[in-house]
Amino acid sequence: MLQAFQDRILKHLLPEFCNDSSRSWTADGFKADWQKITELDAADFLRGIDGGVIRHKGRGLYRAHLSYASEQFFWSGLRRKNPRPIYLWAEPIITIAVLARLHFDLDWPSELIGTQTKKVWAFDVATYWPQKPDVEYIVCEVKKSPKELNLLVDLMNKFGADPHANQIARKEQNAYRKVKALRSSRPPLFWAVGPGGTSFAFRMGYLENGVISFQQIATQELRYPPTGECGD
């Protein structure tokens, strides 16, 4: 499957991105670092693309149905270098793999899933209540390495237990913003996903004093249809 993924990148997605008239870059600068993509993520990425969970919207940008921003699979280096370096972006690859798992493995309709949540793009992926598709049910954050994933989960638990935290180190700010977003939108479920299918799923609890609890659950408990009542 990694070969099929590499072929799709090199023969279709990379030229589609580079050759758009808004860029007119050369693909000669592509740095083919395939080691950052696991076989599972590559396979699920292709499932998402081929299954129509995410669609091309032009300029090499792809968008799921309930998305507040498009996804791109490459990022570029310094403009002054010739050819300009172009790199494969691991997190969007995993993000599309997550969309595929939600749709094909966990039964979520494609019209109820998307990327980049509405409130300052707090989370990478979300699913929404069928009866109120502007309200988040599952929010998901993607990290490109197990180390980053474990740190995120640890810090979010820390800040969830301390609603009055105000001395936030720079390396902790991302997790702190995620917890603030959880307090604001109060989704019932949170899913943290890393490479190769590594993940932690949680049922969320929101107390009146601002404390947030994370109860770890099996991934299968993220399955559609959602349970409980739709929040506001």
Query: Average pLDDT per run of 10 along the chain, which is 232 residues long?
Result: 94 96 90 94 98 97 96 90 92 98 98 89 94 96 98 98 92 96 96 98 96 98 91 56
**42 and 113 inside one domain:** no
**61 and 82 inside one domain:** yes
Q: What is the pLDDT of residue 80?
A: 80
Q: What is the pLDDT of residue 82?
A: 83
Task: Quote the CA–CA distance of 212 and 215 in Å, as a whole number.
Answer: 10
Domain, as residue range, for 217: 98-222
**83 and 108 inside one domain:** no
CA nearest 69: which of 140, 124, 28? Answer: 124
**54 and 116 inside one domain:** no
Q: What is the pLDDT of residue 78?
A: 80
Q: What is the pLDDT of residue 120?
A: 60
**39 and 138 inside one domain:** no
Q: Is 163 part of any domain?
A: yes
Query: CA separation (Å) from 161 to 51, 150, 158?
Result: 40, 17, 5
CA nearest 199: which of 104, 89, 115, 125? Answer: 125
Whole-model pTM?
0.95
